[in-house]
């Protein structure tokens, strides 16, 4: 399992190599029986399983490498590169992490650069499939925050008392992520607070995140609404995400004594805009039988805000303006409709058939809420919201 960079303590530098290289990867394939929409790895990628390909290797497959340099007794640096499907469908390697870390005291460390966002229980290695029991973390919860990293600074303080260990992290930064349409999601004034508590075989994590956002691709829609006077301005003020502050609250717990595991997470993301307010949770557990671990997961996500709006009133508008207003209303509802309502049952098994390599099979049965496309993207004419979808996934995960 890959870890975040950790510099050697004073007096221990002779025991730590100056540079260490490790890597990870997932070779996977996913089948979806939904022919008019894609099951994707992220809202920012263009293709997935279903419409684009019935059997898709693009959802879970990725390769990564991580270099750690222990530069001085208290100073280290981490560089992590990942190649996976990008917003433009390319697979050019991307810098996932790039930071320097200074170990101020044995308990306190500070990092500067690009680091993982501490949103959920497995955020530090959500793209490293091998440590996770499932093929992928439940998308109902983990899609609440489709941003994986932050450019900025964070400080981490660890406190141990008997068998209890607290790790408190505070971070500040920003992020820029391109979507499949070429637009950029900007996150600014981004704060992260997380507290992780470990007690013997149990782990608890609380996380709070907030940021001010800007989404380039929606500018034309809300500028159009503002041309329709007070009613249009009111709609734009309500739904335009630009300049709005978004928040996430997440709580998760895990118990893993070795022979079995149980874990659960709950999160609420309020985007205060057309992207809505969502709550999601899951429970999961498995039992280890030598090298095989069967598991079950139940997950759910729901919208706490409306997924449609009547928009601009068309009555009394000249024909040429009525057509433009209807187009704006349709565009608004298309985005509102992406706020997912979905529940799923997943059954799978992991087989650790050799050192540092695991083979996984997983079946997901997803029920989409009435009128909702769930977490599916790239919907096409003929797609019926509110149906059910079956997914079959197989992966080989490895680390070195």
CA distance 230 to 124: 46
Q: How confident is the model at residue 5 (pLDDT cuts 50, 70, 90)?
A: very low
- The CA distances from residue 147 to 70, 94, 144, 259, in Å, are 28, 14, 9, 33
Torsion angle, alpha carbons of 368, 369, 374, 377, to 10? 80
Query: Which pLDDT score, from 0 to 100, does residue 7 have?
Result: 38
Residue 225 has pLDDT above 90, yes or no: yes
pLDDT tens readout for residues 119-172: 999 988 889 999 999 999 999 999 998 888 999 999 999 999 999 999 999 999
pLDDT tens readout for residues 81-109: 999 998 888 899 999 999 999 999 999 99
Residue 10 has pLDDT above 50, yes or no: no
**Burial group, residue 156, by CB count within 10 angstroms (0-12, 13-18, 19+):** buried
Query: Which pLDDT score, from 0 to 100, does residue 43 have?
Result: 85
User: Comparing 332 with 185, which gets the higher pLDDT?
Assistant: 332
CA distance 49 to 29: 9
Query: Which pLDDT score, from 0 to 100, does residue 4 have?
Result: 39
Query: Which pLDDT score, from 0 to 100, does residue 338 have?
Result: 86
Of 211, 58, 50, residue with least CA distance to 146:
211
Q: How confident is the model at residue 44 (pLDDT cuts 50, 70, 90)?
A: confident
In this structure, the strands spanning 62-72 and 19-32 are antiparallel
Residue 347 has pLDDT above 50, yes or no: yes
pLDDT tens readout for residues 253-300: 999 999 999 999 999 999 999 999 999 999 999 999 999 999 999 999
Q: What is the mean pLDDT of residues 164-182?
A: 88
Run of H or E residues at 236: helix 229-239
Average pLDDT taken over every residue of the chain: 92
Residue 6 has pLDDT above 50, yes or no: no
Give the pair of three-digit tokens for residue 183. Answer: 């637009």
Query: Which pLDDT score, from 0 to 100, does residue 181 have?
Result: 66
Query: Which pLDDT score, from 0 to 100, does residue 2 have?
Result: 41
Residue 302 has pLDDT above 70, yes or no: yes
Query: Which pLDDT score, from 0 to 100, does residue 80 have?
Result: 96
* Domains of the chain in sequence order: 29-56+102-399 (2.40.160)
pTM for this entry: 0.91
CA distance 129 to 120: 15
Cβ proximity of 279 and 129 under 8 Å: no
Cβ proximity of 74 and 45 under 8 Å: no
């Amino acid at each position: 399992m890959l870890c975040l960079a950790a510099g050697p303590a004073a007096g221990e530098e002779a025991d730590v190599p100056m540079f260490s290289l490790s890597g990870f990867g997932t070779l996977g394939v996913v089948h979806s029986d939904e022919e008019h929409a894609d099951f994707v790895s992220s809202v920012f990628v263009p293709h997935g399983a279903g419409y684009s390909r019935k059997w898709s290797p693009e959802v879970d497959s990725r390769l990564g490498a991580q270099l750690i340099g222990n530069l001085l007794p208290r100073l280290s640096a981490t560089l992590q590169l990942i190649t996976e499907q990008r917003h433009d469908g390319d697979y050019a390697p991307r810098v996932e992490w790039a930071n320097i870390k200074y170990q101020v005291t044995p308990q306190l460390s500070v990092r500067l650069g690009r680091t993982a966002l501490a949103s959920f229980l497995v955020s530090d290695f959500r793209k490293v499939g091998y440590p996770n029991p499932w093929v992928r973390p439940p998308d109902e919860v983990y899609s609440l925050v489709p941003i994986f990293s932050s450019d900025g600074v964070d400080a981490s303080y660890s406190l141990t008392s008997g068998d209890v260990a607290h790790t408190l992290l505070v971070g500040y930064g920003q992020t820029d992520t391109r979507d499949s349409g070429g637009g950029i999601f900007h996150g600014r004034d981004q704060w992260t607070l997380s507290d992780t508590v470990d007690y013997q075989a149990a782990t608890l994590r609380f996380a709070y995140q907030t940021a001010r956002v800007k989404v380039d691709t929606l500018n034309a829609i809300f500028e159009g609404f503002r041309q329709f006077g007070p009613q249009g301005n009111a709609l734009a003020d309500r739904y335009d995400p630009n300049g709005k502050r978004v928040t996430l609250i997440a709580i998760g717990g895990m118990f893993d004594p070795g022979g079995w595991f149980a874990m659960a997470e709950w999160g609420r993301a309020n985007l205060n805009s057309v992207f809505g307010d969502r709550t999601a949770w899951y429970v999961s557990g498995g039992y280890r039988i030598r090298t095989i671990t069967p598991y079950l997961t139940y997950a759910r996500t729901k919208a706490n805000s409306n997924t449609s709006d009547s928009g601009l009133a068309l009555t009394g508008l000249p024909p040429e303006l009525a057509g433009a207003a209807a187009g704006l209303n349709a565009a608004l509802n298309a985005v509102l409709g992406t706020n997912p309502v979905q529940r799923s049952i997943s059954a799978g098994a992991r087989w650790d058939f050799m050192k540092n390599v695991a083979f996984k099979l997983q079946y997901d049965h997803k029920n989409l809420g009435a009128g909702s496309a769930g977490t599916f993207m790239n919907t096409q004419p003929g797609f019926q919201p509110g149906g059910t979808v079956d997914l079959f996934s197989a992966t080989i995960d490895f680390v070195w």
